[in-house]
Amino acid sequence: MSVIWHRHYQQKGSGFVSITNIMSEQSSNAPLNDTLIATGAATAMLPTDGKTKPITVIGTEKIRKGFDETCLQQAINSRLAPGVTEVVLNPDAHLGYGAPVGCVMVSPTHVYPGPVGVDIKCSMSLLQMDVEAGAIKDRRVRRALIDAICERTPTGAGRGQRHAKKARDVGEELGRRVAIEGASAGVLESLGIPVSWADQCEDSAHVGHDETSDSLGSRLDYMLDAGKFKRFKEKVTQLGSYGGGNHFGECEIVQVADNARARNVAETFGLKDGKVAFLSHCGSRGFGHNLAMGQFKALQGKFARWNIPLPGKDKELVYAPLGTPEADAYLDDMAMGANFATVNHMLINALVLEAFQEVLPGTTGSLVYFISHNIARKEIVDNQPSWVHRKGATRAFPGGHHALKDTPFAETGHPILLPGNPRDGSCVMVADEGAEKSCYSVNHGAGRALGRRAASRTLDQQVIDKEFDDHDILTNCRKYPRDEAPAAYKDFNEVLSSVKQAGLATEVARLKARFVIKDGSEADD
């Protein structure tokens, strides 16, 4: 064990005991939901051990009553883990890897793979097109668009370029550049993606632990030479694909909110009321999954060999103190996975635009924004540099925030892209000053109300299909996945109400679904 590891272990050793004690005490006490203390109409705090700053909870009373006990326990375990200074629980929160999906975890001294997850930099992107809503009213036009998109962007676990006849060809060398450079001008040009789209990204490229891309090249070379990156060539071919589970592409009609602020912000964002847009949700695919699982395995092995107790006795809450080789390796791997996810989104949007141009000649389009919700970013929290882990949580910087200086969103704040469900629509928001209370973060969507097995077991396929027909929403699926049906998710309007009442963000536009691209096979995440 290195000196840095030993020092952190000695300093935090007593904390491990308190986690175990708290878990045993809470198991015999009242449900954790009953320990939530309301601090406002849509805010509360969740106490931990009486000595640590409580967890900030965002959600109306209805949302708070719906939190699962295990989700709340995961939040407590995360808050009491070594080096953690803040945890925020968002209204979409539910059971996750170590930390809940829908939480923010801050540490100035440690990095945690669990609060990033296995799909590194799972993200949202929105493409605005200069196409009137009426142009896709005809179901035959929408069906042609679905076919054209599916010819270019495959869906499903393990599926890549060979599963779509009009996909882009990405070889091993270009894949290596993607991992190291992210959405650089050279990478985008090689893939036929507008270089200007990089300016519409939360982060267009990620660097390694030493804040250079050279460390990523060295790390990747080491992994390939040592045989530690299995099936690299195959994983690279997944660029420009959606994958499975809750990932999707969705054709939308933009409906800008009817107020002066929303119209002004929408103009800055490039949103066009009454016109067609395309919303995408996906991440780093098998490429990022390989990197994440390798890190979990390596760190869990070290915890076992060095006999370091796990926070909350949860193997998914392994960590590494900053400055150790283990932390450096994780930050490098996370950066490579994040770079892959970024280019994956850029390529998907380029292919979607190409599909629209095939069906509707003359179509033009521009990227509104690309923003992640499974990432750790270095930010300033309470006047000190910290790693802000957002697991199923979205960055929310308002206008005037120092990090937005010299960006198109310096005055307004950047776009926040929140998927709801096809029936109820999705939302574009903008952060308010009150977002400071949530570490400048909001939820990443509606959040699951039913687990996948419960949804597949209890929801009626005929009811789901009729709901899509009633709302005139087409899909590429023969049967829409039951575990992804709108009823499997929380009430989206109640989730948005939580964000608004808590003073975190304001609605700019709703997105009304016209068709959905999704993996129709068994969910893979």
Give residue-wise pLDDT tens across range 403-447.
999 999 999 999 999 999 999 999 999 999 999 999 999 999 999
At 143, which CATH number?
3.90.1860.10
Measured distance CA(271)–CA(61) in Å, rounded: 33
Task: Supply the range of the domain harboring residue 241.
Answer: 123-518
User: How many structural domains comprise the chain?
Assistant: 1
Q: Is the pLDDT of residue 298 over 70?
A: yes
Q: Is the pLDDT of residue 19 over 50?
A: no
What is the per-residue pLDDT for 10?
59
Quick check: is 38 in a domain? no
List, for residues 164-218, the tens digit of each pLDDT value.
888 888 999 999 999 999 999 999 999 999 999 999 999 999 999 999 999 999 9
pLDDT confidence band for 523 (50 / 70 / 90): very low
Q: Which helix (H) or strand (E) holds 285?
A: helix 285-306
What integer is the mean pLDDT of 49-54?
92
What is the per-residue pLDDT for 16?
35
What integer is the mean pLDDT of 52-56?
96
Q: Is the pLDDT of residue 51 over 70?
A: yes
What is the per-residue pLDDT for 145?
98
Quick check: is 453 in a domain? yes
What is the per-residue pLDDT for 18?
36
Strand partners, 378: 387
Q: Is the pLDDT of residue 282 over 70?
A: yes
- In this structure, the number of other CB atoms found within 10 A of the CB of residue 177 comes to 17
List, for residues 67-78, the tens digit of each pLDDT value.
999 999 999 999
Q: Are 111 and 322 in contact (CB under 8 A)?
A: yes
Assign 215 to helix, strand or coil.
helix
What is the per-residue pLDDT for 158?
76
Quick check: is 5 in a domain? no
What is the per-residue pLDDT for 13?
40
Quick check: is 117 in a domain? no
Query: In terms of Cα–Cα distance, which of 359, 364, 395, 362 is closest to 377?
Result: 395
Mean pLDDT (the chain) is: 93
- What are the counts of helices (DSSP H) followed by strands (DSSP E) for the chain? 14, 19
pLDDT confidence band for 6 (50 / 70 / 90): low
Q: Is the pLDDT of residue 15 over 90?
A: no
Measured distance CA(145)–CA(511) in Å, rounded: 18
Measured distance CA(122)–CA(299) in Å, rounded: 22
pLDDT confidence band for 50 (50 / 70 / 90): confident
Quick check: is 405 in a domain? yes
Quick check: is 26 in a domain? no
Q: Is the pLDDT of residue 361 over 70?
A: yes
Quick check: is 367 in a domain? yes
Long-range (24+ apart) CB contacts under 8 A made by 263-268 are 264/412, 265/412, 265/413, 265/430, 265/508, 266/428, 266/508, 266/509, 268/408, 268/409, 268/411, 268/412
Quick check: is 86 in a domain? no
